[in-house]
Amino acid sequence: MSAHQYDHGHTVAGWAGCGIATVGAGVAGLGVCTVSGVLVAGGSAIGVVGLLVTWALHLAGWGKGPGVRPRAEWDWRVRDSAAPGGHEECLGCRLAGRGRRAGRSGRAVVPSMPVQREGEPETAAAVGADSVR
């Protein structure tokens, strides 16, 4: 369980994508320094692979949708229980055909992110703790 009073959003998908993108940026940066178009293109390709890996992990439940997750899912090693149905406000889920709002298809959308459970009050210090002022 996290020692923090709010959801950081750290996930396996986020860590993996960040790691792969960092390697890609390093390769592309090396290509710029050595004036090598092959390395710049390779670094860019690694960045695209990082994006696709992050998206695939998110769809598999190792990512996080918009909003606060239930307290039991705050740890980064816990899969997202709402992932199979898709997250309503998530671009990645909509691109994969999940979590669409009622519209052309006429299907109603069931909210996929549960609200904060009773007995888990939000502390006043945690409210807005991540906001930039």
- In the numeric block, the tokens 């090693």 are attached to 77
Q: Is the pLDDT of residue 111 over 70?
A: no
Write the pLDDT tens digit of every residue in 4-18.
666 666 889 989 999
Write the pLDDT tens digit of every residue in 57-93.
988 888 887 777 777 777 777 888 778 788 777 888 8
pLDDT for 24 equals: 97
18 contacts: CB under 8 Å, gap ≥ 6: 50
Residue count of the chain, please give it.
Answer: 133
Q: Is the pLDDT of residue 129 over 80?
A: no
pTM for the structure as a whole: 0.65
Q: Which two tokens stand for residue 32?
A: 């710029």
Q: What angle do CA 10, 16, 92 make, to 5 degrees?
A: 75
Q: Which residue has the higher pLDDT, 42 or 69?
A: 42
Alpha helices in 58-109 (DSSP H): 91-95
Q: What angle do CA 99, 69, 12 make, to 5 degrees?
A: 85
